[in-house]
Structure 1
Amino acid sequence: MTTKVRTRSRVGLVTAALVVMTAVAGCGGSDGADHDHGHEPMDSGGPTSVLTTPPPPALPDRFAAVDQNDPESVMVAAAQALFSYTPATDPSQAAGAERAAPLLDERFYAENKPAFTVLAPITGRQWDRWASENAVVTARAAVTSDDHPADAPAKVSRVVAVTQTATAPSGAVLDESTLAVYMTATRLGVWRVSALTVH
């Protein structure tokens, strides 16, 4: 059996050699002797269509202007949602955190839910007064130039100044205060707030 396999292999090799020689001879035909195949462009073998990255996840309409690929944009929008309330209908500050949740790291939000009820230094008496007067508390946020840790490819920290203004239905300003919020955003495909401390 072994001998037959070898014999067949030799016949096959001879046949293959003849086929190759015929193919080479055919290449030197009508193209002319000076045709240089070595300088023909080669197919790179890459994709024939442009590769695209998936779009960022959809956000609620209130965050339509947020650039999810910009950590500062995410921090500012998250801070404004976190510290804005309607005390007459919001049971506590945690309602602001719930609205900001799409911009927060899921694990960070889940592990800190109880703390969000007392995030800003607002007393129960003050909250009740705002509620009785149908006040709306609006937060404005801006990234400051304060010192912060050096940026990393997937982690950015900033100090964000947050000004809370409580306004009566008449437009009268009832209270105004400013907080310094130390925020960290982590890149999880897109940027999300993963830590914060209020000072």
Structure 2
Amino acid sequence: MKKILICSVLTATFALAGCGDNPTPPPNTDVGLEEPTVTTWTQPEIAGPLADVDQSDASAVAEAVTEQVFSWDASRDATSGSAAHEAEPLMDEEFASQNRNSWEARMKLLGSQWQDWAADEAVFTVELTEGKEQRPADTETQAFRQYGVDITMKGKSTEQKIHYDVFVTLEHLGWWRVSDMQISQPQFPTN
């Protein structure tokens, strides 16, 4: 029994010793080939009004998405939340999916307000002002932006101003995408 055990151990040792450095790599491998050099990356194509946004710039993405969310058009949009759907290509999938049916509620306007504006043939203009408050520093994977959003509504018989404060979180997923957007209650300045 001892002889068989010793023989088995020796056979296994010789077999393993034969698996050492082999100067010739097996065929069809890339051993010794250089890594390819990537010279340019092309940003993903998106359709719609945000097609030309520089997706490698967190500020450009945050501004474009914020402005689009508030680019209301009472002549074509069913609700104040309709414009936000055009910004979805620059939102991460989870955030877009979670908010797809709730943008109107996030605008926090009275239910009849949109119908009144549509009846008055309202036209809206949007102006963003970057917030100057201190915010967390950008990292390679996350960025934060804040904006004052001033909307001017001009209808046939009325004119109104609306202000929102918006806080945007972006994630770097190969390209910058909005992963969260906190929207304040609307304020209706008198001047």
Q: Give TM-score, length-normalised by structure 2.
A: 0.71
Alpha-carbon distance in structure 2 between the residues aligned to 1:96 and 1:165:
16
Structure 1 residue matching 2:101: 3-state secondary structure: helix
Asked whether 1:96 is paired with 2:89, we answer no
Segments of structure 1 that go 5 or more residues without pairing to the other structure are 1-43
Q: Which of 133-142 and 176-185 deviates more?
A: 133-142
Q: Letter of the aligned partner of 1:148 in structure 2?
A: R
Task: List aligned pairs for 1:1-199, cutoff 5 A.
Answer: 46=34, 51-60=38-47, 62-168=49-155, 174-199=159-184
* Equivalent residues of 1:166, 1:175 under 8 A apart: yes
* Equivalent residues of 1:76, 1:142 under 8 A apart: no
* 1:54/1:177 CA distance change after superposition, 3 Å: same
Alpha-carbon distance in structure 2 between the residues aligned to 1:162 and 1:51:
39
Q: Letter of the aligned partner of 1:103 in structure 2?
A: L
* Cα drift, residue 195 of structure 1: 0.2
Structure 2 residue matching 1:56: 3-state secondary structure: coil
Deviations 1:30-61 (A, max 9, x none): xxxxxxxxxxxxxx9746x8522430011335
* Cα drift, residue 140 of structure 1: 2.1
* Cα drift, residue 196 of structure 1: 0.9
Structure 2 residue matching 1:124: 3-state secondary structure: coil
Alpha-carbon distance in structure 2 between the residues aligned to 1:92 and 1:64:
23
What is the root-mean-square deviation of aligned Cα atoms in Å? 2.3
Identity %: 28
* Equivalent residues of 2:50, 2:87 under 8 A apart: no
Runs of 4+ in 1 over 3 A off after TM superposition: 44-47
Q: Give TM-score, length-normalised by structure 1.
A: 0.68
Structure 2 residue matching 1:156: 3-state secondary structure: strand
Q: Which structure has the larger Rg over C-alpha atoms?
A: 1
* Equivalent residues of 1:75, 1:185 under 8 A apart: yes
Structure 2 residue matching 1:145: 3-state secondary structure: coil
* Cα drift, residue 165 of structure 1: 1.5
Alpha-carbon distance in structure 1 between the residues aligned to 2:127 and 2:96:
21
Deviations 1:72-110 (A, max 9, x none): 110111011101111232111231111111111111110
